[in-house]
Amino acid sequence: MRSITALEAQVREILLQTWDPIGIAGVAAARDEYDQYVKPITVMITTGTSADELSRYLLEIETNRMALKGDQRRAHSAAGKLRALA
């Protein structure tokens, strides 16, 4: 994986440990599964995106990109932690 900033590393951990819609947190070989979302979310955090907007973004990923049902509570929890990184 490319070199990442400290904020990106924190975002990555929240995506793996709190959000994790496909349940891969404990799979070492899959730790990069959500990396494509780290940079966009980092930008969202640093530009003042609200927790509600972050939550909607995570739900959009779950439902539209991953074709999952989506879990609003999980997305909201992860969004709150992501927003707190700012």
Phi, psi (degrees; rounded to nearest 5) at 37: -95, -10
**Confidence band of 5 (pLDDT split at 50, 70, 90):** very high
The whole domain housing 24 covers: 6-83
Residue 1 in any domain: the answer is no
The kind and range of the H/E element at 73 are helix 72-83
Mind listing the pLDDT tens digit for each residue in 9-43?
999 999 999 999 999 999 999 999 999 999 999 99
**CA triplet 8, 10, 48: central angle to 5 degrees?**
70
Residue 67 in any domain: the answer is yes
- Tell me the whole-structure pTM to 2 decimals: 0.92
Who contacts 1 (Cβ-Cβ below 8 Å, separation ≥6)? 32, 35
Total tally of structural domains belonging to the chain: 1
